[in-house]
Structure 1
């Protein structure tokens, strides 16, 4: 009787086990190659929603001799036209550029808010470079890192304007007293 019970349990175990393996079909979903191969166009970039601050006249004068800022501003303007050539080059070239950019900040602009915005730009540029050069990054991630560069550059411009405006205000108030 025990042996019949054991055989019956053994066959039930095999039937249940076989039934489960037949039901589980390992299917893989195809990767959406079209999404990976999306090209970043100027139309995509124009669709970004962010506040784009430009430099005031005083700020333009303050950064006129800051060559690396001028070069970055030109490259960002190319980037707004979907020219990614500067940002999808070798990472070491971009790292060298950023180091020179950080080290040549004019003395009168070396405040904590401006230096922190420069560090944010560094992070955004390096992230953009990594996302553009890696093959396994989807188009959405690339466009988000593009937008991050634009926002970081805009925020740097805002901080430069704000600093110079504050300096002007301090000068006016100190002259009145």
Structure 2
């Protein structure tokens, strides 16, 4: 298991966020997000009763996983809400196609999504995505990020921010490899 302290793009230090990622054979990925919010600034969306796919989750508190493929342009984006809603998107290359909402990806399955007292845990099945594209774990690299809606505004957390603007789609900032 690898862990990463995610940093806020705007150097917002009132909330800290750590993410851990673990490959589970043969094709499952487990990710945990741990928040430290001593002043209870985070604003959470209302819980839903099941795990529906919903768009525009990034407009509120939302955790994100980006899955890149070495030497390829295409990638996947997975949005995970503390409401327990989720969505997966497919891109052919950097932010393309430009549809809004983006095109849903149905080659990634949610196994478990659970809001916890410290953050969020998720298990996703990448089997169909990996099989259809003939991928091994060593072909993948992962970006972990979050949009945190606080009483002091939206804040953007990622493994690193290498551009002049917060941009979770920037593959240079996807640091986890297998």
TM bin (shorter chain): under 0.3
TM-score, L = length of structure 1: 0.25
Structure-2-length-normalised TM-score: 0.25
Question: As a proportion of its length, which structure holds more helix?
Answer: 1
Larger relative CO (CA 8 A, sep 6+): 1 or 2?
1
Larger Rg: 1
Structure with more strand by fraction: 2
